[in-house]
């Protein structure tokens, strides 16, 4: 097992990474104050891991809360079902909520913990690659709104993150690739040597090589921990973690939540951010193509949906969280390994980026 730390003063917490950690109840019990534990999961993950996690927490009064699986259920109604279960079982302020599942479960359980009785403890036990390298770390919680993704929520840090890499053995291939989009992101925004390591090891990662997965997760979590430690509430550098997300969230919202997986939409959005960075003269065609080729090798889409026009993107991007004082800001690359958040670009250039024929641009890179 490897342990990293998110340094946030009194809100600091550990990230444990290793195999079969779900069975190690002592890693969780040290962060549980009371006798009540609510395990929030979904109907896909529950049959796989709920019983094992419950056994490792023998001695606690456990309330299982099983939600329907999918981004489409990341809403007020499903959140209300968590509160209903907590109140029915009479959970008090010393309860601990454990999120067992992917990013949707983690976001919703975290938001419920931030809100229930004005805040109770929670622990993240992520079971997808995307949640292990991204959403479980950093304290972003929330739900979707029909007009925009993740527009309702709170910053609320967990007590600990327990990453059991062996859970990836049951992850569908499409979900694994979606997680690799976030892994590749770290190389693009802040760690160019890691990008090179990914190019050498992408086939091992897709083949579930445990050593390669552990290293990729460790590097990703270490990068995110550094950024979150420097900017917990996204007032500056943390926003660079959203490379490709403004374009990607527009895709998710327009297509309908869950039609495109989050990582898939981020991948196509990242290609658009790369192209815009190239048009600004910050990266070369070769650098853009290097990144696109790696995304394609990860099994990810590198072309936005054919049914989306520039006007569709602009409509959805207008309600993005990075819009300030009516100005849209985007995460772009000054170079591979260095990102920035900027609103200083001509609108015509953004529209040109949205109107690029990405199918033609990436055709050779996908073969």
Query: Looking at the annotation, which residues are catalytic?
Result: 118, 140, 182, 224, 234, 238, 242, 245, 249, 262
Q: Is 95 annotated as a binding residue?
A: no
Beta strand residue intervals within 299-354, DSSP E: 330-335, 338-342
Q: Is 167 annotated as a binding residue?
A: yes
Q: Is 264 annotated as a binding residue?
A: no
Q: Is 60 annotated as a binding residue?
A: no
Q: Which two tokens stand for residue 115?
A: 């809100």
Q: Which two tokens stand for residue 266?
A: 């981020």
Q: Is 119 annotated as a binding residue?
A: no
Q: Is 128 annotated as a binding residue?
A: yes
Q: Is 191 annotated as a binding residue?
A: no
Which candidate, 300, 311, 308, 320, places its Cα nearest to that of 362?
A: 300
Cα angle 229, 239, 324; round to 5: 130
Q: Is 311 annotated as a binding residue?
A: no
Q: Is 74 annotated as a binding residue?
A: yes
Please provide the DSSP assignment of 238-280 as one string: GGGGGTTHHHHHHHHHHH-BTTB-HHHHHHHHHHHHHHHHHHT
Q: Which two tokens stand for residue 282?
A: 């910050």
Q: Is 85 annotated as a binding residue?
A: no
Helix (H, G, I), strand (E, B) or coil at 64: strand
Q: Is 139 annotated as a binding residue?
A: no
Q: Is 78 annotated as a binding residue?
A: no
Q: Is 5 annotated as a binding residue?
A: no
**How many CA atoms does the CB half-sphere of 180 hold within 13 Å?**
31
Q: Which two tokens stand for residue 356?
A: 């690029």
Contacts of 348 (CB under 8 A, 6+ apart): none
Q: Is 262 annotated as a binding residue?
A: yes
Please provide the DSSP assignment of 145-203 as one string: ETTEEEEEEEE---S-EEEEGGGGGGS-HHHHHHHHHHHHHHHHHH-HHHHHHHHHHHH
* Residue numbers belonging to the annotated binding site for Zn(2+): 182, 245, 262
* Residue numbers belonging to the annotated binding site: 69-74, 103-107, 127-128, 140, 149, 167-170, 182, 245, 262
* Residue numbers belonging to the annotated binding site for NAD(+): 69-74, 103-107, 127-128, 140, 149, 167-170
């Amino acid at each position: 097992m490897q342990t990293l730390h998110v340094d946030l003063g009194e809100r600091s917490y550990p990230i444990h990474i290793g195999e079969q950690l779900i069975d190690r109840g002592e890693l969780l019990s040290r962060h549980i104050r009371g006798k009540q534990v609510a395990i929030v999961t979904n109907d896909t993950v529950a049959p796989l891991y709920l019983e094992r996690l419950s056994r490792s927490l023998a001695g606690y009064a456990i309330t299982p809360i099983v939600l329907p699986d999918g981004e489409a259920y990341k809403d007020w109604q499903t959140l209300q079902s968590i509160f209903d279960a907590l109140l029915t079982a009479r959970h008090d302020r010393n309860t601990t909520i454990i999120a067992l599942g992917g990013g949707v479960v983690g976001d919703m359980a975290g938001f419920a913990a931030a809100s229930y009785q004005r805040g109770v403890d929670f622990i993240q036990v992520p079971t997808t690659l995307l949640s292990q390298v991204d959403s479980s770390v950093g304290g972003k919680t929330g739900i979707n709104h029909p007009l925009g993704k993740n527009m309702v929520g709170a910053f609320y840090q967990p007590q600990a993150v327990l990453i059991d890499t062996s859970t990836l053995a049951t992850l569908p291939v499409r979900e694994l690739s979606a997680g690799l989009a976030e892994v590749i992101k770290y190389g693009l925004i802040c760690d160019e040597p890691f990008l090179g390591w990914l190019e050498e090891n992408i086939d091992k990662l897709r083949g579930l090589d445990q050593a390669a997965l552990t290293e990729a997760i460790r590097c990703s979590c270490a990068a995110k921990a550094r950024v979150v430690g420097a900017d917990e509430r996204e007032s500056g550098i943390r926003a660079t973690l959203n490379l490709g997300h403004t374009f990607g969230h527009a895709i998710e919202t327009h297509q309908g939540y869950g039609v495109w997986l989050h990582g898939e939409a981020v991948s196509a959005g990242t290609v658009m951010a790369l192209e815009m960075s190239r048009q600004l003269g910050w990266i070369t065609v070769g650098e853009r193509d290097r990144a696109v080729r790696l995304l394609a090798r990860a099994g990810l889409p590198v072309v936005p949906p054919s049914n989306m026009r520039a006007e569709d993107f602009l409509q959805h991007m207008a309600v993005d969280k990075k819009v300030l004082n009516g100005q849209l800001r985007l995460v772009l690359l000054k170079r591979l390994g260095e990102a920035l958040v900027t609103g200083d670009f001509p609108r015509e250039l953004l529209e040109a980026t949205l109107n690029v024929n990405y199918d033609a641009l990436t055709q050779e890179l996908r073969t």
